Amino acid sequence: MITAGIDVGSKTVKVVILQDGKILARSLVLTGFEQGKAAEEAFALALKQAGLSAKDIQKVVATGAGRTSVSFATESVSDVAADARGAVFINPNARTVIDVGAEEGRGISTDTRGKVIDFAVNERCAAGAGTFTEAMSRAIEVKLEDMGELSLKSTQEIPLNAQCAVFAESEVVSLVHAKTSKEDIARAIHDGISNRIAAMARRVGVQNDIVLIGGVARNKGFVASLKRQLEADIKIPDEPEYVGALGAAVIAAS
């Protein structure tokens, strides 16, 4: 059976095509203004990679914030359900799934079959998601991709109140002027956001294995901060941003 999962995130659309438990193709495009179009585009891209056409796909399941805009989907599932299924599919021992995307952070506890037991989501506030780091990286004029590496070189801990991304930005600017090193500021930023994410994860109860997914999982500095906060090891899949789409494809196959 060949299925597809489409995750329409606020920033990017991800598609995974799955055949009997094997990933045939993946694709990612920017969501932009028209979610439906972006979804079609991403789907076409994935099909091309897999050398398939749309009718070869038996079932398409959409997920993510924009899941309702995917007209060609057979079904849609919530992002927490897709995340949990995807994470357990990759790592059968996953019990706590933390998904940090551009505009939303989630903590999910799941059972052995990838069914959601409980979850917590950050309220519509940028202080607990990828956008926060993006805004801060702009403030200290460091490329987003470099933030992680930079923060790993930090030598001291500085408390930063990640209450509001906007106000945090001015705190960051004051740190810059106080001649605080960019390394330390980068770490403070990651500590600030991971504190909020850790709180969410603890809310649902942290159990091993902890699997971190979503685009922000690519940020090594954030991962290091989160590990410190949770005092636990965190597993990160190779392609962390595709886990939601993968979960949707898995659900489609079952």
Partner 1 sequence: MTLDRAKEIVTNRHDYAREWKKKTGSKVMGYFCTYVPEEIVYAAGVLPIRVIGSHEAQSYTEPHIYTMFCPFSRDVLAQGLRGKYDYLDGIMIGHSCLHLRQAFGAWMTNVPASFSYYMYTPAKIQSPHAKEMMLAETTEFKKAVENWLGRPITDDALDKSIEVYNTNRRLLKQIYELRKADPPPLFGSEAIELVLSSQLSDKAEHNKLLESVLKELPQRRNGPQGGNIRLMIIGSEDDDTNFLRYVEGLGATIVADEHCTGSRYFWNETVPEKDRLRAIGNRYMNRPPCPTKDWESRRRFVHIMNMAKEYNIQGAILVQQKFCDPHEFDIPPLKALLEKNGIPSLFLEFDITVPIGQFRTRVEAFLEMLQLEVV
Partner 2 sequence: MVTSIKKYQTRPLDSFKKAVELRKEYYQNVREAKQQGKLLITGGADSMVALPAGLGDYVFFEGEPYGATISMDPEFSGKCVEAAEAKNFARDMCAYMRNYWGSMFLNKYYFGGEFPKPDFVMQLGFCDTHAKWMQQVGEYMNAPYFGIDMPVGTPGRNVEAKVKYLTSQMNDAIEWMQKVTGRKYDDDKLREAVRNECKSSTLWSEIVCYNKAIPAPLEQRLIFTLFIICILRRYERKSVEFYETLRDEVKQRVADGIAAVATERCRLMDDSQPPWYFLQLYKYMEKYGVSVVGSHYSFFLGGSLEEMPDGSLGAPKTPDEMGMPMKTREDILRAYALWYIKKPIISQMFALPHFKSETMLRLVKEWKVNGVIFHLNRGCEGTAMGQMENRLALTKAGIPVMTYEGNMADRREFDEAQTLRRIDAFMESLGLSKLES
Partner 3 sequence: MTTQVEYWRWTESRYTNPEVDWRKASTITAGIDVGSVSSKAAVMADNEILAYGLMRTGSNSPDSALNAINRAIEGTGLTMKDIKFIVGTGYGRINIPFAGKAITEIACHARGANYIWGPVVRTILDMGGQDCKAIHCDEKGKVTAFLMNDKCAAGTGRGMEVFADLLQVPITQVGEMSLQVDKEPPPVSSTCVVFAKSEGIGLLRQGWSKNMVLAAYCSAMAHRVVTLLERIGMEKEFVLTGGISKNIGVVSRLEKELGIQAVPLPKDQKFDPQLAGAIGGALFARDLLAKSRKAF
78 contact choice in ligand ADP, partner 2, partner 3, none (CB below 5 to 8 Å, kind-dependent): partner 2
Task: Tell the smallest beta-carbon distance from residue 15 to partner 3 (Å).
Answer: 21
Which residues, including other chains, have CB under 8 Å from residue 211's CB and lie 6 or more apart?
Answer: 87, 90, 91, 94, 96, 97, 98, 234, 235, 236, 237, 243
Q: Which one of 1, 53, 115, 138 is in contact with partner 2 (CB under 8 A)?
A: 115
Task: Tell the smallest beta-carbon distance from residue 144 to ligand ADP (Å).
Answer: 5
Can residue 214 be called a binding residue for ligand ADP (CB under 6 A)?
Answer: yes
Q: Which one of 116, 140, 201, 243 is in contact with partner 2 (CB under 8 A)?
A: 116
Can residue 211 be called a binding residue for partner 1 (CB under 8 A)?
Answer: no
Binding mask 65-84 for partner 2 (x = CB under 8 A): -------------x-xx---
Can residue 42 be called a binding residue for partner 2 (CB under 8 A)?
Answer: no
Can residue 229 be called a binding residue for partner 1 (CB under 8 A)?
Answer: yes
**With respect to partner 3, which residue has the nearer C-beta, 44 or 176?**
176
Q: Which one of 117, 158, 199, 232 is in contact with partner 2 (CB under 8 A)?
A: 117
Task: Tell the smallest beta-carbon distance from residue 173 to partner 1 (Å).
Answer: 9
Stretch that binds partner 3, among 50-58, 114-122, 171-179, 192-200 (CB under 8 A): 171-179
Binding mask 145-184 for partner 1 (x = CB under 8 A): --------------x-x-x---x--xx--x----------
Cis amide leading into 79 (omega within 30): no
The site for ligand SF4 (CB under 6 A) is made up of 125-127, 164-166
Find, among 114, 5, 22, 9, the residue nearest to 58 by Cα: 5
Binding site for partner 1 (CB under 8 A): 159, 161, 163, 167, 170-171, 174, 195, 198-203, 205, 229
